[in-house]
Amino acid sequence: MRKAIIAGNWKMNKTAAEAKELVTALLPKVKNAKCDVVVCVPFTDIALVAELCRGSNIKVGAQNIAWADNGAFTGEISAAMLKEAGAEYVIIGHSERRQYFGETDKSVNARLKQALINGLKPIVCVGEKLEDREGGNTEKVCKTQVVGAFETVSADDAAKTVIAYEPVWAIGTGKTATDEQANETIGYIRSVVKELYGAKIADAMRIQYGGSMNAKNVDSLMAQPEVDGGLIGGASLKADDFAYIVNAAK
86 confidence band (pLDDT: 50, 70, 90): very high
249 within domain boundaries: no
Confirm whether 199 is domain-assigned. Answer: yes
Domain limits for position 121: 5-236
3-class DSSP state of 133: helix
User: Can you tell me the mean pLDDT for 57-61?
Assistant: 98
Question: Is residue 152 one of the residues assigned to a domain?
Answer: yes
> Would you say residue 154 lies in a domain?
yes
This prediction has a pTM of 0.96
Total tally of structural domains belonging to the chain: 1
Catalytic residue among 51, 94, 131, 184: 94
103 in active site: no
User: Average pLDDT, stretch 58-63?
Assistant: 98
Tens-digit pLDDT profile for residues 133-183 = 989 999 999 999 999 999 999 999 999 999 999 998 887 777 778 999 999
Across 55-80, average pLDDT? 98
Identified catalytic residue from 96, 103, 128, 166: 166
Task: Indicate which CATH number applies to the domain containing 79.
Answer: 3.20.20.70
Q: Does the residue 243 lie in any domain? A: no
Evaluate the CA torsion angle 55, 57, 63, 68 in order and state its sign.
positive
What is the C-alpha separation between 109 and 149, in angstroms, rounded?
4
| CA 79 to mean position of chain CA atoms | 17
Q: How far apart are CA 101 and CA 90, in angstroms?
A: 17
Q: What's the pLDDT score for residue 250?
A: 82
* Residue 216 covered by a domain: yes
CA 229, CA 246: separation in Å to the nearest integer? 9
226: Cβ contacts below 8 Å, ≥ 6 apart: 182, 183, 184, 186, 187, 190, 207
Question: 250 Cβ partners below 8 Å, 6+ apart?
Answer: 4, 34, 35, 222
Q: Indicate whether 104 belongs to any domain.
A: yes
Q: Quick check: 65 pLDDT over 80?
A: yes
Q: Would residue 180 show up in a list of annotated catalytic residues for this protein?
A: no
Cβ atoms of residues 213 and 174 within 8 Å: no
Question: 212: pLDDT confidence band, cut at 50, 70 and 90?
Answer: confident
DSSP state of 44: G
Q: Per the domain annotation, does 241 fall within a domain?
A: no
pLDDT tens readout for residues 92-124:
999 999 999 999 999 999 999 999 999 999 999
